[in-house]
């Protein structure tokens, strides 16, 4: 796959290279390194370069954004995910939303293109297939988040069309197509929020909301997905003010707009809540939040309940209980438990002191006692074998997070250089073995974040410099891009 991506990149350069101005060798080197990375890292770094001061030529910006858009389609994770509950952390980290899903990267490229070439940004969005969400059950610990698609469509609607296209209502036709593509509860809330935020004429809004109501009636019941957006499915558009009037909040529907799809909204809520329910969603004897909010809104719109009947407990009685996911923390093996206890001691020595006084100070971490505990912990980590854990990914995450925490605790000096070296060597040697690139990058990202957040310039330079000397091409390039942000 990596060879295929490189060939694709070379073909793109061959096709466009003749029309591009020459760049300094150092800048061209950064681009070539970005092109050689796995697709999600390649797309991310190419977009970073396109937006950076080192790329000033418009033609190059356009090409890098195009390349990023193409590469992002091959990202391992299709869209971001929400993670639920205290569970095996690797399941969450593998699909964590940290900007490396295909949907987020491709919509990011579209939005960057809109700033430079609005028609091309529109065309790119039209190439982007609506995100399909299938097969989510109550046993799934992660659930899709597809809001980026609708946020970007809102920006395309505002900036992607010419006056002539708007005369032909091509902008409205695209909105209708996007609304018609809704096929699960994961789409409903972000689509509704998109419609509420757009600047539309009353007639345009009326037509789109009517279409939204029709599609809403066809959305199948899925309690795990529905629970994700339940908090926002009923518009809180009418907060009371001292005068006793109800005023719409910014970017939320007006009274007349809400009234248009109240019947469809009521039917949707009842259909979702009266189907099979996940064990962790809802409490016995308590009306679910979306039903309660609907009743509150209906009472404000129609105090006599002539048009909108309140949702009753009987209507939303679950068809059956479909269970939930397993609550499993990763520290199961004896080695994991021993390391966890060692980490806690290195943090605070198990002292029962208030607030920050509990944690070791920098000077306390220079003592012989602390150093001895640190060295013993490193030996404990060095002997940790993959077969002691449930999977390669679990072993990787447990060991990497321990090395990362220890590297942040060791005082500056030879011991810290050693701790960081061991940590980076572990990441470098596991690069090919860890199936999930998102999971592997978690710890690189955290170190880059630590460098970005610190107010100590020497600390920042040390972290980025240490990462920059890594033998891994992903780590070293991200460190160099981080140094450019000084």
Mean pLDDT by 10 residues, the chain (486 residues): 42 55 95 97 97 95 98 94 73 70 97 97 97 91 93 96 96 97 95 90 91 93 92 66 37 61 93 94 88 92 90 94 84 92 94 87 95 96 93 92 94 93 96 91 92 91 94 97 80
Query: 78 φ, ψ to 5°?
Result: -70, -35
CB 108: neighbour CB atoms within 10 A? 21
Predicted pLDDT at 96: 63
Question: To which residue do tokens 């509950």 refer?
Answer: 85
Per domain, the residue ranges of the chain are 108-321, 334-484
| Alpha-helix residue ranges (DSSP H) falling in 17-143 | 25-35, 39-50, 58-72, 89-94, 102-116, 118-127
Helix/strand number for the chain, H first, E second: 22, 4
pTM (two decimals): 0.89
**CA angle (398 as vertex; 353, 374 as ends), nearest 5:** 50
SS3 assignment, position 59: helix
Please compute Rg for the chain using Cα positions: 26
Please give the pLDDT value at position 79.
93
How many alpha carbons fall within 13 Å on the CB side of residue 144? 27
| Residue that has been written with the tokens 């060798």 in this structure | 25
- 405 neighbors 397 (Cβ within 8 angstroms): no
- Angle 458-461-467 (CA atoms, 0-180°, nearest 5)? 140
What is the pLDDT, as a whole number, of residue 359?
Answer: 94
């Amino acid at each position: 796959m990596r060879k295929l991506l490189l060939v694709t990149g070379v073909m793109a350069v061959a096709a466009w290279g003749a029309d591009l101005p020459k760049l300094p060798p150092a800048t061209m080197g950064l681009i070539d390194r970005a092109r050689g990375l796995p697709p999600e890292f390649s797309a991310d770094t190419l977009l970073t370069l396109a937006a950076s001061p080192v790329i000033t030529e418009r033609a190059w910006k356009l090409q890098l954004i195009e390349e990023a858009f193409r590469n992002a389609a091959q990202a391992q994770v299709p869209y971001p995910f929400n993670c639920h509950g205290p569970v095996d952390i690797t399941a969450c980290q593998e699909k964590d939303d940290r900007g490396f899903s295909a949907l987020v990267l491709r919509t990011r490229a579209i939005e960057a293109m809109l700033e430079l070439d609005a028609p091309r940004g529109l065309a790119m969005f039209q190439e982007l297939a609506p995100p399909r969400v299938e097969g989510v059950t109550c046993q799934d610990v992660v659930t899709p988040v597809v809001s980026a698609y609708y946020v970007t469509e809102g920006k395309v609607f505002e900036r992607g069309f010419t006056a002539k296209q708007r005369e032909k209502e091509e902008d409205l036709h695209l909105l209708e197509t996007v609304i018609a593509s809704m096929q699960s509860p994961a789409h409903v809330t972000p689509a509704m929020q998109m419609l509420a935020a757009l600047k539309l004429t009353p007639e345009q809004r009326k037509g789109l909301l009517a279409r939204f109501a029709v599609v809403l009636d066809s959305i199948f019941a899925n309690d795990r997905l529905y629970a994700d957006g339940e908090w926002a499915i009923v518009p809180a558009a009418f907060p009371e003010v001292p005068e006793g009037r109800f005023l719409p909040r910014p970017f939320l529907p007006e009274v007349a707009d809400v009234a248009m799809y109240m019947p469809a909204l009521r039917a949707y809520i009842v259909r979702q809540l009266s189907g099979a329910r996940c064990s962790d969603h809802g409490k016995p004897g308590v009306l679910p939040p979306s039903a309660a909010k609907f009743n509150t809104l209906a009472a404000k719109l129609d105090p006599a309940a002539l048009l909108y009947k309140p949702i009753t407990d009987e209507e939303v009685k679950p068809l059956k209980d479909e269970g939930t996911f397993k609550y499993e923390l990763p520290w199961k093996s004896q080695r994991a438990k021993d390391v966890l206890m060692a980490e806690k001691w290195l943090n605070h020595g198990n002292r029962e002191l208030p607030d920050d006084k509990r944690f070791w100070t920098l000077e306390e971490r220079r003592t012989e006692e602390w150093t001895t505990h640190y060295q013993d912990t490193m030996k404990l980590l060095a002997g940790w074998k993959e077969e002691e854990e449930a999977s390669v990914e679990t072993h990787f995450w447990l060991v990497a997070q321990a090395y990362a925490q220890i590297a942040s605790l060791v005082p500056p000096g030879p011991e810290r250089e050693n701790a960081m070296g061991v940590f980076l060597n572990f990441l470098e040697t596991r690069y090919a073995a860890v199936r999930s690139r998102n999971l592997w990058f978690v710890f690189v990202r955290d170190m880059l974040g630590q460098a970005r957040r610190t107010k100590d310039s020497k600390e920042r330079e040390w972290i980025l410099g240490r990462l920059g000397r890594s033998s891994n091409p992903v780590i070293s390039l991200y460190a160099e891009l981080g140094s450019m942000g000084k």
